[in-house]
Structure 1
Amino acid sequence: MELTKGANTALPDRPVEITVGWRTAGAAGSRTSLDVCALRLGATGKVREDADMVFFNAPSSPDGTVRHIGRSPGGQAEVVTIDPARQPADVEAIVVTATIDVVTPELTFGGLDVWAAVKDLSTGQEVATFTPPPLGPEKALVVVELYRRAGSWKVRAVGQGYASGLAGLATDYGVDVGGDEDVSPPAKALDLPSTGDAKIDMRKRLDLRKQAVKVVLSKQGLTGKQARVGLALDASGSMRPLYKRGTVGRVVERIAAVAATMDDDGTLDVWSYATETLALPPLRVDYLADWIPLYVRQRKATTGQGGAEATLAREEAARAAGWPIPNWDGIGGQNEEQKVIAAIIDHFGRAPSPPPALVLVLTDGGLYRDRMIADLLRQASKLPIFWQFVGVGKAQYGILEKLDTLSGRVVDNAGFFAVDDLDEIDDAALYQRLLSEFPVWLQAARAAGIPV
């Protein structure tokens, strides 16, 4: 039976197999990846405990009645099995969801055709099929719901998308996100060469830094304010010492706490730029310790943590696990800030508003495209985007030093400060400087009718 959105049908009194598949047009289909998850819900419509979330990293409920089987042989679908008749008495429903995998962060459900099929596991007979209506910027989707009704079980076609990703979906179903924790299933494990920094220590530092961010937000009257957080990393040749010393990696770790606290889906959108711009896979806090050594580098592998040998070994392991590796050779070595600014405007300009975007740009100066940068900031002044430029060298910063007097803008949409050594600034001072002009811009943007 082909179900339409909202329709339902009865389930057999036996285990069922639910397959969620996806299709895209063209070569992109081979790079598509979704994660399928099942959530057991109580009478309140919320999960009863953490173990009610069954996915690839926790592939079975404690009683074995809900299982994540994994990817189908063809690679374009994932399978879960559910035995409705054996569910605990206080389980009233089970929702099956799909989310964009971390290895294909550029995708949304607007670029996918999703389908679902429910089969009687013992006979192989098809019980129901469902094709959700076309979606747009959503990153997560409730596909179908199994639910009790008058002592029996039924399946309903849902097709509800969440633009905020799994974080928004999970919050609706009572998964404990700790206020601002990223709740996505952990990234598929990587066996990468050690960087000498234990992941547990990084997690502890992140928790402390999030508290420091909250203190600053509270002082600014921004408690609970959401923003899409972006970061642009200068990878021009003159930045080489800062990459080799690990300074840039440590800055990324510290800025990740801002995204974990403020971002609407707990991710940090990151770009690396020099002559050209590379959009890196978004950084999620649940794989912070893998992401930084893998993606924080320049064109030459020697600028990665541990030198060229360790960098290339990490990339080989990551590629084997399905993580995307950018074409570092194509990034070049000179400063072309206007290109990354244009790319970021395009990226956030396609996102629904609110929340607004807070974009942090790390540069060591040497700017020489002042007119182009100024024109782009003027154009962007009508958009819900605030730019905070951070100087980390002693070179000429050009137009960035004149932002306060830049004319022709709807509102003052950018700030700048420079420091000699970011490692010497404690977290509280860094977050205060990063966030000090953002609330002023928010007030001006509202007054100008910009959706923030």
Structure 2
Amino acid sequence: MRKISGKEVRTLITLIKGQRINLSKQYPEIDKLKIDISWKLKAPQHSNFYEIDLSAFMINQDAVIPEEGYFIFYNNPLSSDHSLAMSKVVPAAENQELFLNLAGVSPEIEKVTFILTIHDAEIRKQNFSHFENISLTIWDEESKEELLSFAIDGFEQETAFELGNVYRKEGSWRFNPIGRGYNRGLQEFLDIYHPAAAAETPYKEEKECETERPMISKLDLLKKKVDIIIERKALQKIRARVGVVLDISGSMRRLYKEGIVQNVMGRLLALATRFDDDGILDVWIYDNSFSRLPSVSERDFPNYVEREILKNTGVSKFTANNEPPVMRDVLNKYIKEENSSLPVYLIFINDGGIKKAKKNQDSVANVLIDSSKEPIFWQFAGIGDGNFDVLRKLDDLDGRYADNAGFFHIPDIEKETDEELYEKLLHEFPRWMAEAREKKILAR
């Protein structure tokens, strides 16, 4: 014990990797723990560009989670037995907390392991070498006293860390400071502790047996992030057909070749599964001409861009861009070929270069005016550092029956977090839904 301001408090124990401690013996009267995980970036890195995820796996004697409720992360913050809770995620924060009641842990749970990962690390070219340190500190939740701490530094190319675990042995709870790095992110631990999770894809090629547990995949995690934004905007009951138009002009070449477009499509597919009753995303690409591609679902999403675009010799790619023809085909599909009472939410991704139309030429403005009485909302997303003057003026476009388009700009899509992207994608859609119902474009 030590004294602070005349009061006796416990001595903080500083652990090193592998230095296990018997919690039940060292602190026999303590059951409720606060586990604080903190991290610090090196200068000049900026926390807004890094999406750090804390998670915990509550593992049984077979070394797997017994059910989904024992995988704790931002959208499942409370375990099935209510013994482990996670604090609310604060964007750009450099710490997060877990609260563990040892007395309440289900008898089937033998170990609770704590994981820190960088979301989309490979795509964003991020790893823990950009960090100075990671610290795990355990507190007595009731007395607010620090009990022990464990620090990790000396990082290389790791994208995930198993920080440590609390485990049962011979009737006692113990803590093991691990500090082991991995290079496959969260998927590494899904493979280890949740065998039903697919290693690289959100589905299995072979037929799954009926008794197999549901899989957790990267796409499943994205869906849960979408759900947070949908609930925040009260869009839970919305059903809509969802499509995406992708710019494939010459300046987009790198984004296609390096897998950035495939990654973006995964983020959009997660949104489509929440709006579209068929769980599909309709797809167009365009440069000087356009192609209407096969719609994509979870089952055929893996390698979609490589298979349907890059290796498809029948589609035009990497020339100059021309928007009106592909926009007319979008209207042709949804308004003429497949007319429906459901609204259409169309995401249009462009990296700049839309030219102001000459006299008697079709234009983006003409298409928007012509479709302003139809149940279709155009969400334009400008990416990169191109010229978006035409798109920026959409909100002031005269001649429309309803304001049927929105625009936002993302300088670097690789650094945009999922939450930021979904927030921007769904910012103006609710307003259009309300106006479309008011003007009887949509049924109330």
TM-score when scaled to structure 1? Answer: 0.49
Give the structure with the higher percent helix: 1
Report the TM-score, using the length of structure 2 for normalisation.
Answer: 0.50
Higher-Rg structure is 2
